[in-house]
Structure 1
């Protein structure tokens, strides 16, 4: 991590949720930079969130966050984007950490992560929040009718459906995108007026909504999060021509259930 691709951050729609936080830097941030930023999040245990060197942490990753607010952070893209999401979606990140902690506390001797923690990790790493107000558009996604969703309904994006990257691995992958990138999306039904809100209001609403569901243990298994080949989202990839959308190795058809 040497360069700071300001133009990409300013222009690519996927970076919109963390754009204002990225704009605070003109070069990759170090630990001094992180320490100078105001505290914007707290763990469910009440500790202010801080981004510290991994070698300073002697406890399990989730436990260190919950008890002390210490997020193990390496000076690489993956962890830098993780810190950015803590700033953009502080309630949801704190709720995910608390969820891990609840499950661990309930079974302290278990060596099995379980499906709920697997789902939380998938969303944390490669999740996308999918607000929508048209049930038909969500059904196209569930049915893997990708050409209809991305091409025929191209004008619906930003008006009746949108996607906001939550997973920090997504941002890292978009620095050098390649065919095959797929995330796990969390659909959120909203009113039509949601799409008339300014971006910050949208992010705040979604952060509060997701954190409420996470704290209520709604997230239980990975299959609750449908797959989304997110390079197909209008404007998210440079080569969105007919041949691109005809690539069924990427835009896979839905398999029929076993009989």
Structure 2
């Protein structure tokens, strides 16, 4: 696990930096990831336990729902998962509740089904965007020129929060093609995101439609020095036109 490779000054890590640096320091001083996360958890977050607390054959999401504990490995993936639990406990619990409900109804199958698929996609790779309508419309239409060049100044009115722990893990080594699955949030532009309000928006019928917009996150102004040049967005292998 390369916690030392994390650059906490990156803008996408701002919501996680304070706890993340503290957890990383504890782990580097010989604590497990589970113990370090549990030491900082707020009252409404679950406890973190070693991975071997998950009984053989039991579904991970069902175990979390039944025990209010999160089996956690000593790796970057679970490190970031824990940080998202600490930052957004209501939203993570809502995702877990919906996952566990689907597992109870349908069992664990090789094909998750549309709801579990959407929940997993958001949990692993999701992000939330609060932005002026012109930016959201350009994103949906994959009009990258308008989104990032013509209307670039409007990003000062926007906020993007990364939620997916696999997405955060990938960005430890930033690469241009890394893409988030984005939901629009009505939170209002501010430095914080209302966790309880977000959890309340996660309606199963809506999620089944997979209402995500694809966003190459290093295209966000200020998130990559190279994107100051309009030529950065000319790469059609990353900034793909709408089909």
Which TM-score band applies after superposition, normalised by the shorter structure? Answer: 0.7 to 0.9
Query: Could you tell me how far 1:155 is from its partner in structure 2?
Result: 2.1
- Gapped regions of structure 2 (runs ≥ 5): none
Q: Hey, what does 1:60 align to over in structure 2?
A: 59
Report deviation, 1:139. 0.8
CA distance in 1, matches of 2:217, 2:40: 31
- 1:230 paired to 2:217: yes
**Is 1:219 the counterpart of 2:202 in the alignment?**
no
* Structure 1 contact 12–235 (Cα < 8 Å) conserved: no
- Hey, which bits of structure 1, 4+ residues long, moved more than 4 A? none
Tell me how many residue pairs correspond in the alignment.
235
- Contact 2:59/2:108 (<8 A) preserved: no
After superposing the two structures, state which structure 1 stretch, 225-234 or 150-159, moved more: 150-159
- Cα separation, partners in 2 of 1:189 and 1:3, compared to 1, 3 Å: closer
The change in CA–CA distance for 1:50 and 1:17 in structure 2 (over 3 A counts) is same
Name the structure 2 match of 1:137: 135
Q: After TM superposition, give the deviation of residue 39 of structure 1 in Å.
A: 3.7
| Distance (whole Å) between structure 1 residues aligned to residue 43 and residue 172 of structure 2 | 26
Alignment of 1:61-80 (within 5 A): 61-80=60-79
- Three-state SS of the structure 2 residue aligned to 1:164 is strand
Q: State the alpha-carbon separation in 2 of the partners of residues 135 and 76 from structure 1.
A: 38
**What TM-score do the two structures reach when normalised by structure 2?**
0.88
Q: Which residue of 2 aligns with 1:177?
A: 174
Alignment of 1:50 with 2:18, yes or no, is no
C-alpha deviations, 1:49-76, integer Å up to 9, x for none?
1222212211210011101122121111
Q: Distance in 1 between matches of 2:91 and 2:3?
A: 29
Unaligned runs of 5+ in 1: 43-48
Residue deviations 1:119-147, cap 9 Å, x none? 11000011011112x22221100111112
Instruction: Report the Cα distance in structure 2 between the residues aligned to 1:2 and 1:14, rounded to whole angstroms.
Output: 18
Listed as ranges, the matches of 1:237-252 within 5 Å are 237-240=224-227, 241-252=229-240
Q: Contact between 1:4 and 1:27, CA under 8 Å: does it hold in 2? A: no
Greater shift in the superposed pair: 78-87 or 176-185? 176-185
Q: Distance in 2 between matches of 1:33 and 1:121?
A: 25
Tell me by how many angstroms 1:109 deviates: 7.4
Deviations 1:73-115 (A, max 9, x none): 1111111000000011110000000001111222247654111
Q: How does 1:30-179 map to 2 (within 5 A)?
A: 30=32, 31-42=34-45, 49-58=46-55, 59-108=58-107, 112-132=111-131, 134-159=132-157, 161-179=158-176
